[in-house]
């Protein structure tokens, strides 16, 4: 066994099946540039169709975002929308099913949710989460179960877990 690099890696990646689901992301006031940069990198890896940055979320060009994203902020289609509520409505009008990644009284474990073919995932501020006004506009909410003593994962880590599940669960068997 040997690690793949360069051309061999590119050829290998081209042979992998492509998910049938389309994915969009809404960042509601994710405050830390390092988290935003990580999310850009996740968005690139998951072939995200649209990344909407809202509220106080820092936007490119930003040196920390670009560094952590490894310049994926220049590849991923993104735009700034001032209000997260407006971003939700725009994606709903584009045919997306809106799912908050948030603990609520109606949240389901991320691996049990019935995701349709077009999904937009909303994540919120590191300290306050997704606001009630945005939750009211969502079609559902999911969470990542915690098995240790901590109550949550970092926002970009939780988002990666959920995004990969959404895409991988749509691959042909």
DSSP letter, residue 171: S
Please give the pLDDT value at position 99: 98
Q: What confidence tens digit (pLDDT) does each residue in 32-61 have?
A: 999 999 999 999 999 999 999 999 999 999
Distance, CA of 60 to chain centre: 17
Q: What confidence tens digit (pLDDT) does each residue in 103-135 have?
A: 999 999 999 999 999 999 999 999 999 999 999
Quickly count: other Cβ atoms within 10 Å of residue 75's Cβ. 13
Q: How far apart are alpha carbons 34 and 5 in whole angstroms?
A: 27
Dihedral pair phi/psi, residue 18, rounded to 5°? -100, 135
Average model confidence (pLDDT) for the chain? 97
Residue 9: inside a domain: no
String of DSSP letters for 64-87 = HHHHHHTTGGGTS-EEEES-HHHH
In this prediction, residue 13 has a pLDDT band, given cuts at 50, 70 and 90, of: very high
Give the structural domain span for 37: 19-168
Please give the pLDDT value at position 172: 82
Residue 66: inside a domain: yes
In this prediction, residue 156 has a pLDDT band, given cuts at 50, 70 and 90, of: very high
CA dihedral 143, 147, 149, 155 (to 10 degrees): -30
| Averaged pLDDT, 136-153 | 96
- Please count the structural domains in the chain: 1
Q: What percent of the chain is predicted at pLDDT more than 90?
A: 99
Residue 7: inside a domain: no
Q: How far apart are alpha carbons 26 and 88 in whole angstroms?
A: 8
Which CATH number do you get for residue 149?
Answer: 3.40.1280.10
Residue 108: inside a domain: yes
Q: What confidence tens digit (pLDDT) does each residue in 56-81 have?
A: 999 999 999 999 999 999 999 999 99
Q: What percent of the chain is predicted at pLDDT more than 70?
A: 100
In this prediction, residue 173 has a pLDDT band, given cuts at 50, 70 and 90, of: confident
Please name the helix (run of DSSP H) or strand (run of DSSP E) that holds residue 141, with its range, or none. Answer: strand 140-143
Q: How far apart are alpha carbons 122 and 96 in whole angstroms?
A: 12
């Amino acid at each position: 066994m040997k690690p793949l690099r360069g051309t061999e890696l590119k050829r290998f990646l081209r042979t992998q099946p492509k998910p049938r689901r389309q994915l969009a992301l809404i960042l509601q006031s994710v405050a830390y540039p390092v988290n935003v940069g990580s999310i850009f990198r996740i968005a690139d890896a998951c072939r995200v169709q649209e990344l909407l940055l809202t509220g106080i979320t820092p936007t490119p060009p930003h040196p920390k975002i670009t560094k952590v994203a490894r310049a994926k902020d220049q590849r991923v289609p993104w735009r700034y929308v001032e209000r997260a509520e407006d971003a939700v409505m725009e994606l709903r009008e584009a045919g997306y099913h809106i799912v908050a990644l948030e603990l609520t009284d109606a949240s389901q474990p991320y691996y049990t949710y019935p995701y349709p073919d077009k999904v937009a995932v909303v994540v919120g501020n590191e300290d306050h989460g997704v606001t009630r006004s945005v939750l009211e506009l969502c079609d559902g909410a999911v969470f990542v179960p915690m098995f240790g003593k901590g109550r949550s994962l970092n926002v970009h880590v939780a988002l990666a877990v959920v995004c990969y599940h959404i895409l991988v669960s749509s691959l042909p068997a």
